[in-house]
Structure 1
């Protein structure tokens, strides 16, 4: 069920390992103080407390270790909180895994290689009514439509390959100096590219760039 009490919006984290769960809970509580954040190690534990959630974060690599198969936990949470938003954090790498997650109702998938900033931005985007993925169709068609919509967005923003590489680094939270080093550019060149990226995306700052391009680089097997 979702939080219909009129109280503070609620984030639920489902992860087996206490350290991961508490670290993510602490980060989210600090960064988004106007949302209540709680964590649970199992589905039953969450259900026994009332199953309250506006946004659900499932650490999929952890859930696989506690008796559920594939994205079963995500599907169960979606059925119990049908109007909630579900984010899956997973070691995803294949179209089959992505289509399976979308098919059971996930709103978005974030790779475990992402930074905490990616999770924070995903939560903020969902709170604003945004979508992390454009397709909610089941089976293989979901992954294919997702790839098509991703390509369409990339074509629509008119960014150069170099600018897209810089956007990818910005999503990781890299500084201009680190971007310059990693991409073998001068720092001044990076700054010029970022200024053009702001203009082409109609963004005022880095946060807006990452929000607007959040799902450009979700890994898929092409």
Structure 2
């Protein structure tokens, strides 16, 4: 995490460390404080309460560097995102937006997906962006970020994974593990009928007919993204 080191970021780091014991969670106040060894081994960068200039430095470092670590913004909420956050989400220069008003289990599931090379953008945010595509052209940071994306030859995602909600991502992850619908319902405290509705929506968004095809699409997408990162 590159973050304003307040109580919330410290607590979040502890939660992430407990949830993902196989990974080292490090909090730094700025990119300049990250060691070269850490830079070479980063899988996911979470950005929280940083000045605009610091966000820009991180984006440029990881898009132009040899290792393309996944990046996500931790924000208070998505209701009133400022212009440069909107541009980050619209252009997919970052890989996700993580609102702090998500339920903790959903937040952690989304973080896990990002660390595995996926994406997480709240469906409500994507809906608002699609309904209001006009961006503030006077936003100099936004313009620079678009330029970074273009000069880095970044391909935008197909949309299959980005279209999934956090709940659908949770269910897809369990589907890929071969978990039965009834057990998924028990784990997520849902009715079995609700799980079936979510699964139908997942199949529709991913353009697949069953869980085997969904798992194949999911893992192929993951491998493609990892290969893309290695090429970059």
> In the alignment, what sits opposite 1:86?
71
Shift of the 153–84 alpha-carbon distance from structure 1 to 2, 3 Å rule, reads: closer
Shift of the 118–76 alpha-carbon distance from structure 1 to 2, 3 Å rule, reads: farther
For the residues of structure 1 that align with 2:163 and 2:25, how far apart are their CA atoms?
32
For the residues of structure 2 that align with 1:24 and 1:32, how far apart are their CA atoms?
12
| TM superposition shift of 1:88 | 0.2
Counterpart contact for 2:45–2:70, Cα < 8 Å: yes
> In the alignment, what sits opposite 1:220?
none
The TM-score, its normalising length taken from structure 1, stands at: 0.51
Query: What residue ranges of structure 1 are gaps of 5+ in the alignment?
Result: 1-12, 140-145, 155-163, 171-175, 181-186, 212-222
1:37 counterpart SS class = coil
> In the alignment, what sits opposite 2:55?
74
Shift of the 116–46 alpha-carbon distance from structure 1 to 2, 3 Å rule, reads: farther
Query: What residue ranges of structure 2 are gaps of 5+ in the alignment?
Result: 127-144, 148-155, 172-184, 203-209, 219-232
Counterparts of 1:55-74 in structure 2 under 5 Å?
A: 55-59=44-48, 62-63=49-50, 68-69=51-52, 72-74=53-55
CA shift digits 1:97-144 (9 cap, x unpaired): 44322458311112221133333223322333323369xx939xxxxx
1:87 counterpart SS class = strand
The TM-score, its normalising length taken from structure 2, stands at: 0.49
| TM superposition shift of 1:29 | 1.1
Q: CA RMSD in A?
A: 4.4
Shift of the 198–87 alpha-carbon distance from structure 1 to 2, 3 Å rule, reads: same
Q: Is structure 2 residue 18 aligned with structure 1 residue 37?
A: no
CA shift digits 1:178-212 (9 cap, x unpaired): x99xxxxxx8xx442223434553569xxx9xx9x
Counterpart contact for 2:168–2:199, Cα < 8 Å: no
Q: May I ask how many residue pairs the two structures share in their alignment?
A: 153
For the residues of structure 1 that align with 2:86 and 2:146, how far apart are their CA atoms?
6
> In the alignment, what sits opposite 1:127?
115
Counterpart contact for 2:30–2:54, Cα < 8 Å: no
Counterpart contact for 2:70–2:114, Cα < 8 Å: yes
Counterpart contact for 2:46–2:73, Cα < 8 Å: yes
CA shift digits 1:47-68 (9 cap, x unpaired): 6886452210011xx22xxxx2
More helix per residue = 2
For the residues of structure 2 that align with 1:19 and 1:108, how far apart are their CA atoms?
23
Counterpart contact for 1:51–1:81, Cα < 8 Å: no
> In the alignment, what sits opposite 1:101?
88
